[in-house]
């Protein structure tokens, strides 16, 4: 795995330079493939934003992350006057950036009236081969937020399975430090997908640092995540079941990897047995069922 210099501790400018987004002057950035740096005090909140309350502790945590790592996912604005802009999406990032004391913020600048062109340009952009996983996830999220597409409609537009799109979108729920690691190719998409199944961000970061320090493979990472999610109790260890034959163990590990969830396989001496596939939410059930059905 090729590791780039860590983005930790570096400023916003360095993060922008590293990103594959093309940074342009505001007047040239009314497109979907370019971003601009905008004075944060020239941006006003969207009056039609349905969400009015933002939990202060979560905003402060995001502000701390932005101070350390910068903006991972640019906000989106529309120009409503000379050197005046209005938010389209990203109000949490906008509010947290103000708390963090940023004077400027990176943003996609677009013509809010040109919906069809925006959708076509974003779909075209997603076909590029040089996008990293975070950039793909950001583009999918923009299509959903700004073009009001469901995941099913998005699946039709880009020709990808819904489960694939869901896996990319889940990357944006990871802590910012891990998103930077994915973007900078410090860890792979496979590592990130394994970490997503941990609900606790501290546990995610603990295993993430272990991946970096020890060069763990995706399979090893998945094993650590399973141990974190399903710790073995002492009383269970005393009654450890008989080890599975090699072909059964291989099948179980393969299914674990394919479904990215816990799979239990039991087999008795007479050849009878059962396979138990675990899921933690309706979304995860839908993802697993789509994989199994090949949709």
Taking only the tens place, the pLDDT of each residue in 259-270 is 888 888 888 777
User: Which one of 44, 53, 55, 91 is the catalytic residue?
Assistant: 91
Cα separation of 82 and 242, whole Å?
Answer: 73
Note the pLDDT tens digit of each residue in 222-247. Answer: 989 988 887 755 555 455 555 677 78
CATH number at 12-171 = 3.90.1530.30
Contacts of residue 189, Cβ cutoff 8 Å, sequence gap at least 6: 133, 171, 182
Provide the pLDDT for residue 14.
Answer: 38
- Domain residue ranges in the chain: 12-171, 187-229, 241-293
Spatial CA neighbour of 23 closest among 102, 129, 105, 85: 105
List b or e across 10-19, with b for residues whose CB sees 16 or more CB atoms inside 10 angstroms.
bebeebbebb
Provide the pLDDT for residue 205.
Answer: 95
Could you confirm whether 53 is annotated as catalytic?
no
Provide the pLDDT for residue 230.
Answer: 77
Q: Which pTM value belongs to this model? A: 0.55
Cα separation of 76 and 35, whole Å?
Answer: 9
Taking residue 139's Cβ as centre, other Cβ atoms within 10 Å add up to 20
Question: What are the residues facing 105 on neighbouring strands?
Answer: 38
pLDDT in tens, the chain (295 residues): 443 333 333 333 333 333 445 566 666 665 555 688 999 999 988 765 555 567 888 888 899 989 888 888 888 888 888 888 988 878 889 999 999 999 999 998 877 666 676 777 677 777 766 788 898 898 899 888 878 888 898 998 888 899 999 999 999 999 999 999 998 899 999 999 999 989 889 999 999 999 999 999 999 999 899 888 877 555 554 555 556 777 888 788 888 878 888 888 888 777 788 888 888 888 788 888 888 887 6
On whether the CB atoms of residues 108 and 71 are closer than 8 A, the answer is no
Provide the pLDDT for residue 35.
Answer: 83
Question: What are the residues facing 35 on neighbouring strands?
Answer: 23
On whether the CB atoms of residues 26 and 109 are closer than 8 A, the answer is yes
Provide the pLDDT for residue 249.
Answer: 80
């Amino acid at each position: 795995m090729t590791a780039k210099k860590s983005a930790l501790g570096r400023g916003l400018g360095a993060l922008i330079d590293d990103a594959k987004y093309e940074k342009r002057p505001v007047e040239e950035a009314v497109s979907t493939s370019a971003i601009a740096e905008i004075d944060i005090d020239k941006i006003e909140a969207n009056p039609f934003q349905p969400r009015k309350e933002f939990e202060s502790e979560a905003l402060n945590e995001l502000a701390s992350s932005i101070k350390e790592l910068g903006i991972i996912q640019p906000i989106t604005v529309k120009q409503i006057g000379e050197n005046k802009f209005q938010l389209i999406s990203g109000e949490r990032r906008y509010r947290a950036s103000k708390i963090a004391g940023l004077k400027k913020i990176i943003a996609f600048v677009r013509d809010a009236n040109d919906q069809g062109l925006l959708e076509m340009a974003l779909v075209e952009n997603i076909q590029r081969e040089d996008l990293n996983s975070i950039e793909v996830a950001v583009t999918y999220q923009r299509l959903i937020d700004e073009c009001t597409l469901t995941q099913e409609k998005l699946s039709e537009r880009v020709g990808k399975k819904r489960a694939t799109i869901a896996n990319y979108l889940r990357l944006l729920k990871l802590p910012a430090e891990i998103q930077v690691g994915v973007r900078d190719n410090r860890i792979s998409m496979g590592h990130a997908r394994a970490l997503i199944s941990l609900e606790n961000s501290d546990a995610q970061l603990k295993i993430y640092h272990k991946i970096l320090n020890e060069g763990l493979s995706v399979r090893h990472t998945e094993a650590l995540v399973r141990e974190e999610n399903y710790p073995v109790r002492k009383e269970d260890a005393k009654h450890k079941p008989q080890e599975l034959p090699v072909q059964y163990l291989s099948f179980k590990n393969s299914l674990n990897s394919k479904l990215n969830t816990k799979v239990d396989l039991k087999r008795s001496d007479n050849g009878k047995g059962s396979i138990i596939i675990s899921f933690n939410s309706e979304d995860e059930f839908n993802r697993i069922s789509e994989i199994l059905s090949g949709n």
